[in-house]
Amino acid sequence: AQSVAQPEDQVNVAEGNPLTVKCTYSVSGNPYLFWYVQYPNRGLQFLLKYITGDNLVKGSYGFEAEFNKSQTSFHLKKPSALVSDSALYFCAVRDGYSSASKIIFGSGTRLSIRP
Amino acid sequence: EAEVAQSPRYKITEKSQAVAFWCDPISGHATLYWYRQILGQGPELLVQFQDESVVDDSQLPKDRFSAERLKGVDSTLKIQPAELGDSAMYLCASSLGRGPTEAFFGQGTRLTVV
């Protein structure tokens, strides 16, 4: 069965420092991977995706993610954190190519950026 | 910018009552999802539609939950009767329905059962 793991419940970073939010996945076929961000009492906002191609994908708000097939990882990164990046971040994987495939989410990582 | 519309934003209901949530996906999106998110956890898929057909409802508690998308556009999720454990955020999302595309989420409905 397909699954996503976010090993850290919380990540704390000082403003201006680089940040990394970790994600590992398990799929039987090709991985289709996504990152979302959620602010309090709001829905999830799409940040970026990996479908195929370059292992480094760029997304919204200066975020990027690195796909590593050998380590089955898709870590979210940003070179310089902002206080406004503080939110809940979810990694997700589609369990197939078709539109009928499910999108499965990790348990989330709370990112806290201190001024 | 097109958005997924959900209503109501907040709902308080007494246990054993019926409650319904509505979702209007982005125009042209064939796939519609309903997720339940317990506070501090990741979203859990309840039901997925492709046009008007259910493609996955394996995690939907069918004794009390029902979902429909009659004309393949907007959708309703119903709970009857509501239980205390149903308190959660109910999220609707939609995607184009061709290939492994991302899903776009609505603002959600925060349900509190008292």
User: Which tens digit of pLDDT belongs to each residue from B50-84?
Assistant: 999 999 999 999 999 999 998 889 999 999 999 99
What pLDDT does residue B72 have? Answer: 86
- The answer to whether residue B22 scores a pLDDT higher than 90 is yes
Mean pLDDT within B8-33: 97
Chain mean position to CA A11 = 13
Of B42, B48, B100, the CB nearest to A108: B42
Tell me whether residues A99 and B95 touch, CB distance under 8 A: yes
What pLDDT does residue B73 have? Answer: 93
Touching A: B residues 49-78, CB under 8 Å: 50, 55-56
Identity (one letter) of the amino acid at B46?
L
Half-sphere exposure of A27 (CA within 13 A, CB side): 25
Rounded distance, CA A100 to CA A102, Å?
Answer: 6
Q: How confident is the model at residue B85 (pLDDT cuts 50, 70, 90)?
A: very high
Mean pLDDT within B39-47: 93
Mean pLDDT by runs of 10 across the 115 residues of chain A is 93 98 94 94 92 93 96 97 97 86 95 96
